[in-house]
Structure 1
Amino acid sequence: MLPLGTQRVGPFPFASLCGGYFPSRGIPYCGAPDRLAPACEAALRAMKAKVGLRLGPVPHDDAMLTALLPALERGGWRLLRQRVGVEFVLKNPGGLEAYQAGLSSNRRKKVDYYWRKLNEAGKTELRHFNGAGCDWPSVFADIRAVEAASWVAQTGEPRFLGARNERYWNQLMDDPWFNQAVNVWLIDHCGTPVSFALTLDSGSTRYVIANSFDERVAKFSTGSKIYQQLIFDAFGRGLSQVNIGLGDSGYKSGWGARPASTLIDVIAFAPSLGGRTALLAARAREAAAQIRKRRSRSRRK
Structure 2
Amino acid sequence: MAAIPLTRMGPDLLGAKGVPGSYWPCRSPLFSPDLHREELADLLADPLAATALAPLWRIGPANAADRATRMVMEASALAGWTVLVRELGETWLFDLAGAAQENGGNWPRKSTRKRLTGYERRLAQEGEVSWLQISGADWSAKVLEQLGRIEADSWVGKTTDGSGAKFLTPAQRARWQTALSDPVIADALSATILLLHARPIAFSFDLRSGDKQYAIAGSYAEDMAGFRVGKIVTCRQLEGALAQGVRLVDLGSGDSGYKREMGAVCGPALFDLLIVRQRKAALLLARNWGHEPADLRQMTLASPHRVDLPLPSLKHIAAAAALAGTAVVVAE
What CA distance in whole angstroms lies between the structure 2 residues aligned with 1:84 and 1:188?
Answer: 34
Q: Cα distance 1:8–1:280, how it changes in 2: closer, same or farther (>3 A)?
A: closer
Following superposition, the deviation at residue 19 of structure 1 comes to 1.3
- Comparing 111-120 with 162-171, greater Cα deviation is found at 162-171
Structure 2, unaligned runs of 5 or more: 279-308
TM-score (norm 2): 0.77
Identity of aligned residues (%): 24
Q: Deviations over 1:55-95 (max 9, x none)?
A: 12112233232232233234443333111111111124369
Following superposition, the deviation at residue 44 of structure 1 comes to 4.7
Partner residue, 1:20: 22
Partner residue, 1:111: 116
- Is 1:166 paired with 2:178? no
Following superposition, the deviation at residue 171 of structure 1 comes to 2.1
Partner residue, 1:242: 249
The residue type equivalent to 2:113 in the other structure is R
Partner residue, 2:147: 143
What CA distance in whole angstroms lies between the structure 1 residues aligned with 2:49 and 2:227?
Answer: 50
The equivalences for 1:1-301 within 5 A come to: 1-9=3-11, 11-30=13-32, 31-42=34-45, 44-47=49-52, 50-93=54-97, 101=106, 103-132=108-137, 134-153=138-157, 154-155=159-160, 157-271=164-278, 273=312, 276-282=317-323, 285=325
Following superposition, the deviation at residue 98 of structure 1 comes to 5.2
The residue type equivalent to 1:32 in the other structure is L
What CA distance in whole angstroms lies between the structure 2 residues aligned with 1:152 and 1:102?
Answer: 30
What CA distance in whole angstroms lies between the structure 1 residues aligned with 2:62 and 2:177?
Answer: 26
SS of residue in 2 equivalent to 1:89: strand
What CA distance in whole angstroms lies between the structure 2 residues aligned with 1:98 and 1:122?
Answer: 35
- Comparing 156-165 with 8-17, greater Cα deviation is found at 8-17
Q: CA contact under 8 A between 1:103 and 1:255: conserved in structure 2?
A: no
Q: CA contact under 8 A between 1:96 and 1:232: conserved in structure 2?
A: no
Q: Deviations over 1:168-205 (max 9, x none)?
A: 11222221101110110111112211111110112321
Following superposition, the deviation at residue 128 of structure 1 comes to 0.7
Q: Deviations over 1:136-195 (max 9, x none)?
A: 211101011111111112325121122322221122222110111011011111221111
Structure 1, unaligned runs of 5 or more: 289-301
Partner residue, 1:299: none
Q: Deviations over 1:230-288 (max 9, x none)?
A: 211222111221111112232112222211111111112233837655444455x2589
What CA distance in whole angstroms lies between the structure 2 residues aligned with 1:286 and 1:257?
Answer: 38
What CA distance in whole angstroms lies between the structure 2 residues aligned with 1:2 and 1:212?
Answer: 33
Q: Deviations over 1:3-54 (max 9, x none)?
A: 2222225753422222134224222222234144314524651226x33111
- Comparing 33-42 with 200-209, greater Cα deviation is found at 33-42
Q: CA contact under 8 A between 1:185 and 1:197: conserved in structure 2?
A: yes
TM-score (norm 1): 0.84
Alignment length (residue pairs): 285
Following superposition, the deviation at residue 96 of structure 1 comes to 5.3
What CA distance in whole angstroms lies between the structure 2 residues aligned with 1:165 and 1:117?
Answer: 34
Q: Cα distance 1:44–1:16, how it changes in 2: closer, same or farther (>3 A)?
A: farther
